Amino acid sequence: MKMTKSIHIECEEYVPIDVFKGLCTLKKSTVMADEPGCGDFAQAKKCRLCKNYATKEEHLGTCKGKHVAYPDMLAKTCEDFASKQ
């Protein structure tokens, strides 16, 4: 599996404001989405990191072969999320 870069947008603590920036809930500050993450980086649960996700096209896949899913879709509340690692 490809290693994910530790950039803010990939962090569990990142909350998007717009396409360029967001909030870090730990530091309570504005951060740029594509800047390197800090020492407290925790990989966010995303569909592409789940065993149940299967790629169908470049930016589209399925969950358990039934439901449409996007690779960068957050799976924070998904009961079926099972990490590939």
Based on the fold, state whether residues 67 and 37 are members of the same structural domain.
Answer: no
Domain count, the chain: 2
Based on the fold, state whether residues 2 and 38 are members of the same structural domain.
Answer: yes
CATH assignment of the domain containing 5: 2.20.70.100
pLDDT at 79 over 90: yes
pLDDT at 1 over 50: no
DSSP track, the chain: -PPPP-BGGGBTTEEESSSSEEEETTTTEEEETTSBP-TT--BPPBGGGBTTEEEEETTEEEETTTEEE-TT-B-TT-TT--B--
Per residue in 26-45, pLDDT (tens digit) is 999 999 999 999 999 999 99
